[in-house]
Structure 1
Amino acid sequence: MSTTANAYAAHSADAPLAPFSLTRRDVQPGDVAIDILFCGVCHSDLHTARSEWGGTLYPCVPGHEIVGRVTAVGASVSKFAIGDVVGVGCMVDSCGHCPSCNDGEEQYCETTGFVGTYNGPDTVLGGYTFGGYSDHIVVDQGFVLSVSHDEADLAAVAPLLCAGITTYSPLRHWKVGPGQKVGIVGLGGLGHMGVKIAAAMGAEVYVFSTSPNKRDDAIRLGAKELIVSKDADAMAAHANSFDFILDTVAASHDLDALTSLLKRDGTLTLVGVPEHPHPSPTVGNLIFKRRAIAGSLIGGIAETQEMLDFCRDHKLTADIEMIAINEIDTAYERMVRSDVKYRFVIDMASLKTV
C-alpha cells in the first residue's frame, strides 16, 4: 500500500523546480505519517538540486528542515500520537546497530551511513528518498522529533532541524559555556543560529565576517562584537584569546588566520563543506599551542531533541523569510547572493495553489 504526495522537484541540474507527484509508503508498524506545514530551505538543497556535489538522483525533491503534524501512527508507535507537532531533520534511517548508532550518533553510522531525508536509499519502497518540499511524509518513529515551541513559531522552528543542530552539536561537544570566548565565522543560515545558541549557553560571542555592515545584526543576535576578518589589525588584536571557533563558511578560505586566534588547547571546528579544499593550514600554528582543527556533522536524534528543547526553553528560533513553493528558484538565486536574513522557509500550504 502507498499514498501519492504532491511535491516540487528538480528534474535536472539546470531546470527550474516544478510540480511533481511521488509515492509515499503506507504506514508501517513503526512509522509516523506527517502532514508537512513548513520546510526550511538549506544551501544543501540547492547544491543537491543542481548536482553541485555530484550524485544527485532525478527527479529530486529536496527539503530536510521539516515541521508538520502527525496524521497517522503505526501499531507499534509509542512516542507520538495523531495531532502532535513534530519535526524531521537531515536523516530518516541508519543501520541502528553499529558503534555510532548505539551511541546515539546516527549521523556517523559506520555500516550503511545515515539515510538522507532526500536522495538517500529508500529501504522500504526501493529507489531513493524524497524530501520535505511535499505535502506529507512517512518516517520511522526513531527519526521523528517532538516540537513543543508555540504554534505561532513553527515556521521559524523548521531551520533548527538542520541549521540549529549543525551548530548546537559542536558547541555542546566542545562544552561551550560561561567564561569562554567563542567565535562564529560567517553570519548566514548556520552562523546566525550559532550566535544565538552560543550566547544562550553563556559564552562571550564574537562574529567573524567580511561584511562590516552585519555588525548591528551580529549584536542583535547575541554577539558582543563583529570582527572584520579582512582587517589584519582587528584580527591581530584578538590573537591567542579564543577558547573555541565555529566555522560555518562553505567556501575555501585560509584557516591560519583563525587558528592563530585560538588559545592553547583551543579548537577550530568546521561545519561548512567548501566546493574546493581549504589551503593547507600551517602545522606550526597547531603544534606550538596544541590547537586543533576539527569537523562536525549535524547531530544524532537524541541530541537533536535536546537542541529543540534547549531552543524552546531559551525562546530561540531562526530568523526567517517565508516563501511560497513556486518562489523556490528565486530563493535559490538569492541564497547564492547571500540575500536572505537568514533562512527561507516554505509555507507548504502554498503547494495546494500551484
Structure 2
Amino acid sequence: MSKTVTESWAAMEPKAKVVPYQLELPTLGPNDVEVDVEYCGICHSDVHIIDKEWGDEASRFPKVAGHEIVGKVSRRGTEVKELQIGDRVGIGWYRRACLSCEECIEGYENLCPHGEATCFGASQGGFARKTIADARVAFPIPKEIPPEYAGPLFCGGITVFAPFRRFGVKPGDHVAVVGIGGLGHMALKFAKAFGCKVTAISSSADKINEAKEYGASHFINSSDEKQMKEAQGTIDFMLVTVPKKLPWQQYTALLRRNGKMAIVGAILGNVEVPVMTELMVRQLTICGSITGGRALIKDMLDFCALHQIFPKCEVTSVNHLNEALDKVRENKVRYRMVVKL
C-alpha cells in the first residue's frame, strides 16, 4: 500500500512553537490500522520531548508529539480482524509491540524491548489528522466514555491504574496519593472506586476541596510538619505522582509495616532511604511502574466505563495548540489538556 501524507503540527527545533507540517505516514502494514484523529491529549511528556529535556534519543526534529490519541479507524491492514472501519479507538504511549518476546508473552507489552513508542525518537505522534498503529494496541473505547475525555486515559490513566492491579491493592487498604495534578486526580478516583480509604497529600492547600470531590476522605498538607508527623505509620499503599525529588524518608515514614510506595512520576534522580532502619525493620517496598500492557488497558477501560471515571479536561481547538502546550509547560492546567483535531 502507498504511503499517506497528512496535515500535522510539528516543532522544527527544540523549544520551538509547533507549525503546520506535511507528515508522511509509514506504510500501512498487514496488522496496522490508519486512524483519523479526533482528539489528542497533551501530556507533560510531550513537552519534555518538544523541549528536548530527555536528550537526543527522545527528540528528533521535526517532531510531531502527542500520544493520547482518540480517533476512528479509516483503513485497516489485510490481517486486521477485530477492528472495523469506523470503530473509535485509543492509542497511548506505545503504538507497536513485537508480541513475541518474553515481556509481551507475559503481558508486559509496555516493556517490550522491540516496541515503538508513539512519539519518542523518530516516531511521530498524534498532533496530526491521521496516524498509523498496530491494531493490536489500538483499543476500542467503550461507548460510556466520552471521546473528548478518553485520550488522557491511555497515558495518565493507565499510569495510575496499573499500580493498583500490579501491586495488589485491596478494598479497605489505606491509600495515599502524593500530588493532585494530571495523574493524581485520576488516582484519587480509582482509589475510591477500588473501595480504599483515600488520603490526598499535596503542598497546595487550595486543592483540598477538589481532592475530596475526586475521592479523598482525608487531606494532608505536605508543608505542614505536624500533619505529616501525625500521619506516620498509617498508609498501606502510597502512589507518588509528582515529577520531582521528595524528602523520601519523610514519606516512607508515613507507611505502615509492609507498606508499599509506588513511584509513577518521571523523577530524575535517586531515592535515598536508610536500608536497615527504614526498609528492613518495617519491611517496606519501594517500586516503580510505567503504563500498562494490553490486558491492563482493557481492564482500565472497562473499569472506567463501569464506574464513570473520566479525567477532568480542558478541551481546545488544534488552532490553539501552542497556547495549550504553554499551559501544560507552565503547570496551569487543571487537570488534563486535550486538543480537538
The alignment's TM-score, normalised by the length of structure 2, stands at 0.95
Q: Structure 1 residue 59 and structure 2 residue 62: aligned? A: yes
**Quick one: which amino acid aligns to residue 338 of structure 1?**
N
Q: For residues 75 and 239 of structure 1, what CA distance do their matches in structure 2 show?
A: 58
Q: For residues 193 and 251 of structure 1, what CA distance do their matches in structure 2 show?
A: 19
**Quick one: which amino acid aligns to residue 187 of structure 1?**
I
**Quick one: which amino acid aligns to residue 101 of structure 1?**
C
Q: Is the 8 A contact 1:254 1:278 kept in 2?
A: no
Partner of 1:32: 33
Map 1:200-349 to 2 at 5 A.
200-275=193-268, 277-278=269-270, 280-283=272-275, 284-348=277-341
**Quick one: which amino acid aligns to residue 174 of structure 1?**
F
**2:183 aligns to what SS in structure 1?**
helix
Q: Is the 8 A contact 1:177 1:198 kept in 2?
A: no
**Quick one: which amino acid aligns to residue 223 of structure 1?**
A
Q: For residues 138 and 317 of structure 2, what CA distance do their matches in structure 1 show?
A: 25
Structure 2 unaligned regions, length at least 5 = none
**2:25 aligns to what SS in structure 1?**
strand
Q: Is the 8 A contact 1:30 1:76 kept in 2?
A: yes
Q: Is the 8 A contact 2:107 2:294 kept in 1?
A: yes
Q: Is the 8 A contact 1:245 1:267 kept in 2?
A: yes
Q: Structure 1 residue 98 and structure 2 residue 101: aligned? A: yes
- The percentage of aligned residue pairs carrying the same residue is 34
Q: For residues 329 and 282 of structure 2, what CA distance do their matches in structure 1 show?
A: 37
**2:4 aligns to what SS in structure 1?**
strand
**Quick one: which amino acid aligns to residue 133 of structure 1?**
F
**1:118 aligns to what SS in structure 2?**
coil
Partner of 1:134: 128
**Count, aligned residues:** 337
Q: For residues 253 and 282 of structure 1, what CA distance do their matches in structure 2 show?
A: 15
Map 1:70-219 to 2 at 5 A.
70-109=73-112, 111-112=113-114, 114-120=115-121, 128-150=122-144, 153-219=146-212
Of 18-27 and 277-286, deviating more is: 277-286
**2:47 aligns to what SS in structure 1?**
helix
- In the TM superposition, residue 279 of structure 1 has moved relative to its aligned partner by 5.5
Q: Is the 8 A contact 2:144 2:308 kept in 1?
A: no
Please, what is the CA RMSD of the aligned residues? 1.4
